[in-house]
Structure 1
Amino acid sequence: MPKRARARSVTLLTAAVLVLSGNPAVAVSTPRVPQQPDAPPVVPAAGQLVATAEIFPEADTNLYTVQVARDGAPVEPGGFALDVQQVVDAALEDLQTLGSSPTDPLLVLNPYGTNTTGVYAQFETEDNGTLTYTVSSPGTEDFTRVAEDHDPSASSFEGQLIGVVPGVENTVTTTWRPDGGEATEFSFTMTAPPSAAGGLTTLDRTVEGNAEELTEGLFAVSGLLRHPDHTLFYDNSGVLRAEFTHDGYRTDRLEFYDGTVVTTVADNELARIDGLGRVVATYVLSGYEMHHDFDVTDDGKVVILATETAKDSVEDVVVSLDLQTGTSEKVVDFTELLADYKSGTQPYGPDALDDWLHLNSVDWSPDGDSVIVSSRETSAILKVDDVHGSPAIDYIIGQREVWAGTDAESLLLEKTGDFPDSGGQHSVVRHDDEGLAEGQYHLTMFDNRFWRIDSRPDYTGPAPAGTSPVFGADPSLRSEYRKYLVDENAGTYTLVETLPVPYSAIVSNVQDLGGPLLVNSGQAMTFAEYDAQREVVARFDYALEGPAENGFAYRVLKYGFGDFWFAAS
């Protein structure tokens, strides 16, 4: 039996039934409902969950799948229902008697329904060690990683093999190296299910520098307009290596907390998923719909951009969710903090949407329990202090004419230098870099250079030079990567770096990779990794067939997944 502890209901375990089917030679069944040797077969009670393990037919070894049914009707594990996840967990416990050694492992394809090509692997061992594996498929570079072992004991390995390419034949070769012992090798071949998102198995990659200089990790492409309920993970060759599924809402980002990844799965629900793919917790926000972004604080709270459904206005509050207690509360309401400014705005568009602020990114800092938020509608960056206490706006960065004559005008920082302000910026992130004086830090952003204030049709102030009202991806225009130096002591901000990038009026993001830079121009359907000298190393295009307006991606972020999917280097 496995050594790891699981939090689950005793009632659920005694009610769940595991049935194995497929190859009779391995169809070993361990019923969860006790019965006498001569008793009739167990018949599940009404509403009872039943897990069935079957042989995956497109493999040359005993690769299993797990299906869950309630009253005979299939239940999708990817629906994030915890009772379903727990029944899968119980089924894997029963199957683990089959993982006898590194050369005879238990293999299960996507048991928890969260990663369509992830392979759960478990086997008994005689000592601690490392599992290195390589995925080979036609027309792609080999994908080699060291798998993270999620079983803390020395007598068993348990992990998830990431990298199987959807829809094609893959050969997976594993090498187990016990500490102080001789390495053993195992190999199996499988034809993986097709991508659940469809297409985009391989991105068009253009290498302009040295591809070996690309940083380690996987590119997470989220918010594809035609596939909002999938997050696609690509390697440095542009090959799809993993695929998250959701309940109709994109992954705004991934945040790592206590051995799990925190992500959005529906517009009012977050989930925590561990490295095996198991959903360990879900959180529903009653009365709110999430949008655009969230961040996790040092003490396990999630600050979330949200719309309060009972209000007429949208995208103008911040909600805080406690990951330990599951409780949530509204902590910032900009209709109160900026009431004077809001009084001069009006709903717009065919739906008369009161989208007067349109917050699109949030970044939390322990410095005064503060957040930096980005407002697309006002092309402004705002800092709010004491978020979980008595929140107040500390400052605003933006075009002065937009705020002229309002109570907020006095909150504007002074610009030092001759440069135009941003237009419709996204993904504003604070960096407390070494070498800066106290009270100084950098802000990086994707400056869309898009300018339109639909909530103020009577606005007659100037637009920042170089901005455009063009909504879309115009190759004759340019957006920018921007980096500001903020000096709170002096009350100033300065442009210290800028880089022209493909134009995208909305969405998009930048990510500092510790020197190198990742830039996603969403509506242009392209992202690129730049080196520290801001030269393009490689560019990746993700355009889909059909009209261009159906193809943007909201964000592309790169993650290493060390101590999660892969052993930390």
Structure 2
Amino acid sequence: MKKKLGNILIFVLIIGLTIGYGIYKDSQSTVTVNKIYTMEFQKQALSDLENEKGNGNYTLQNIFMKYNPFSTNTQSMYVYFNTSKVAKITYTVSCSDYADFTATAYQAKEYQKEHEFQLIGLIPNCTNTITITATYKDGTSQSVSTNYTMGSLLGDEDIQLKQVSGSKQDLGNALYTLLGNDADDQDFVYVYDTNGVLRGEIPIIGYRSHRMLMQNQILYMSVSTHRMAAINHLGMIEHIYNLGNYMVHHDYQFDQDGNLILLATNEEKNSVEDCIIKLDVDSEEVSEVLDLEDLFKSYKESTDHKEGSKWDWLHINTLQYLSDDSVILSSRETSSIFKINDISTNPSIGYIIGNEDFWKDTDYTKYLYTKVGD
């Protein structure tokens, strides 16, 4: 870290922190992670956190820290304190044999006196030096450091990735997310920095998180085949959404009203990955927007499937929602792109981009764009 003499006061604090790790160490089963994704667990975790924090006078020299209180990121720490002057906060996590990780703490305003955030980037099985810096409007700053020894990860992913090829371009201070492994064992979302160091391990119930979407400082992501979660900047889950008889498939977007539009399978049907549903994030109501069989019925009837198996006739994989209430979809089984107009009111096919030979002798050639060139 660069230091300005006279502007930075270094306070080295040795703080005894409780490792709140029991929920995982008892078992790494899906049952344990299932418990995390319940509002009962999250509300109790918040109550326990507030009771432990109490009404203490927490300052930069007396910071309240709690390891992973909501159990949503094994490499995170809850941080709370106040400063006498408005300040913006940055932090650096240092651990031997690994590159430092520096980030700006979340705040509602760039400069404020109360500071409450989730610190991420702790290195497992290592004594981490956490340095928190408050920078004031006049350019002066103060820093404090403390040590915290983190336990092991839940999974067995690599902490440090090896670069085997690629450019030497500076990628900045970004984070890269691996959205899940869909394995027989416990599933996770992994977050790596640009040095290839693991900075976040997020346990999920199963399957994978297909996207991570932000709206009003809330992170929305799928945590299983049938559940979505809304997670705030502290790592606390504010809402769990159950999709009922619909199974999310690969992609979702926000519409113009702030509702989630999701690709899905209706498990009450004999076919898969051919529906679009809407999740009202306020009322938690789930409704079906479009069954693509309604628009492509004659094509579906021309396809074959094994008796007793699910009918994977279209297999929609990606969704792009547009401001005019239309969507652009990709279909794996037809190697085509569809535009569907007015999905919320009166869905209709806008166009198809695909192979002319594939669609000839069907009812859909009139929607097919003409290919120009190679």
The alignment's TM-score, normalised by the length of structure 2, stands at: 0.87
Residues 68, 84 of structure 1: 8 Å contact kept:
no
Instruction: Tell me the residue number matched to 1:82.
Output: 39
Q: 1:178 to 1:75 in 2, by over 3 A?
A: farther
SS in 2 for 1:64: coil
Instruction: Tell me the residue number matched to 1:217.
Output: 174
Q: 1:344 to 1:225 in 2, by over 3 A?
A: same
Q: 1:157 to 1:393 in 2, by over 3 A?
A: same
Residues 78, 112 of structure 1: 8 Å contact kept:
no
Distance 1:160 1:263 in 2: 18
Match of 1:196 among 154, 160, 164: 154
- 1:408 Cα deviation after fit: 1.4
Q: 1:402 to 1:348 in 2, by over 3 A?
A: farther
SS in 1 for 2:46: helix
Which digits, 9 at most, give the CA deviation of each residue in 1:241-294, with x for residues without a partner? 112111112110111011101100111111110111011111111111111111
Distance 2:295 2:261 in 1: 17
Is there any run of 5+ residues in structure 1 with no aligned partner, and where? Answer: 1-58, 419-569
Residues 89, 133 of structure 2: 8 Å contact kept:
yes
Work out the percentage of aligned pairs sharing the same amino acid.
31
Residues 77, 113 of structure 1: 8 Å contact kept:
no
Distance 1:75 1:94 in 2: 24
1:363 and 2:320 matched: yes
Residues 328, 338 of structure 2: 8 Å contact kept:
yes
Instruction: Tell me the residue number matched to 1:95.
Output: 52
Q: 1:358 to 1:373 in 2, by over 3 A?
A: same
Moved more, 302-311 or 176-185: 176-185
Letter in 1 for 2:15: T
Instruction: Tell me the residue number matched to 1:290.
Output: 248
Instruction: Tell me the residue number matched to 1:126.
Output: 84
Match of 1:141 among 99, 111, 130: 99
Instruction: Tell me the residue number matched to 1:416.
Output: 372
Residues 169, 192 of structure 1: 8 Å contact kept:
yes
Residues 254, 262 of structure 1: 8 Å contact kept:
yes
Instruction: Tell me the residue number matched to 2:5.
Output: none
Instruction: Tell me the residue number matched to 2:350.
Output: 394
Distance 2:57 2:165 in 1: 42
1:234 and 2:192 matched: yes
Instruction: Tell me the residue number matched to 1:376.
Output: 332
Distance 2:293 2:189 in 1: 33
Distance 1:99 1:309 in 2: 53
- 1:66 Cα deviation after fit: 4.9
Residues 205, 223 of structure 2: 8 Å contact kept:
yes
SS in 2 for 1:286: coil
Distance 2:32 2:112 in 1: 35
SS in 1 for 2:103: strand
Q: 1:181 to 1:292 in 2, by over 3 A?
A: closer
1:64 and 2:23 matched: no
SS in 1 for 2:84: coil
Distance 2:272 2:32 in 1: 34
Distance 1:228 1:372 in 2: 33
Instruction: Tell me the residue number matched to 2:3.
Output: none
Letter in 2 for 1:372: I
Which digits, 9 at most, give the CA deviation of each residue in 1:388-413, with x for residues without a partner? 11111111111112221111121111
Distance 2:301 2:166 in 1: 50
- 1:302 Cα deviation after fit: 0.8
Instruction: Tell me the residue number matched to 2:217.
Output: 259
Instruction: Tell me the residue number matched to 1:172.
Output: 130
Q: How many residues align?
A: 354
Distance 1:320 1:126 in 2: 46
Distance 2:309 2:367 in 1: 29
1:311 and 2:265 matched: no
Residues 354, 368 of structure 2: 8 Å contact kept:
yes
Residues 317, 333 of structure 1: 8 Å contact kept:
yes
Letter in 1 for 2:72: T
Q: 1:76 to 1:293 in 2, by over 3 A?
A: closer
SS in 1 for 2:214: strand
Which digits, 9 at most, give the CA deviation of each residue in 1:157-210, with x for residues without a partner? 101111112233321111122334853222122232222221221222246433
Is there any run of 5+ residues in structure 2 with no aligned partner, and where? Answer: 1-12, 24-30
1:341 and 2:299 matched: yes
Letter in 2 for 1:87: Q
Q: 1:413 to 1:76 in 2, by over 3 A?
A: closer
Q: 1:75 to 1:307 in 2, by over 3 A?
A: closer
- 1:353 Cα deviation after fit: 2.8
Letter in 2 for 1:92: L
Residues 77, 112 of structure 1: 8 Å contact kept:
no
Residues 127, 155 of structure 1: 8 Å contact kept:
yes
- 1:414 Cα deviation after fit: 0.9
Letter in 2 for 1:114: T
Letter in 1 for 2:17: L
Letter in 2 for 1:211: Q
Which digits, 9 at most, give the CA deviation of each residue in 1:323-351, with x for residues without a partner? 122112111111111001001112249x6
Q: 1:78 to 1:217 in 2, by over 3 A?
A: farther
Which digits, 9 at most, give the CA deviation of each residue in 1:73-100, with x for residues without a partner? x976962211221222122222333462
Q: Note the aligned Cα RMSD (angstroms).
A: 2.6
- 1:152 Cα deviation after fit: 9.6
Q: 1:63 to 1:82 in 2, by over 3 A?
A: same
SS in 2 for 1:357: coil
Instruction: Tell me the residue number matched to 1:162.
Output: 120
Q: 1:115 to 1:332 in 2, by over 3 A?
A: same
Distance 2:107 2:34 in 1: 23
SS in 1 for 2:222: strand
Q: 1:151 to 1:79 in 2, by over 3 A?
A: farther
Residues 68, 77 of structure 1: 8 Å contact kept:
no
Distance 2:126 2:367 in 1: 57
Q: 1:76 to 1:412 in 2, by over 3 A?
A: closer
1:279 and 2:233 matched: no
Letter in 1 for 2:74: T
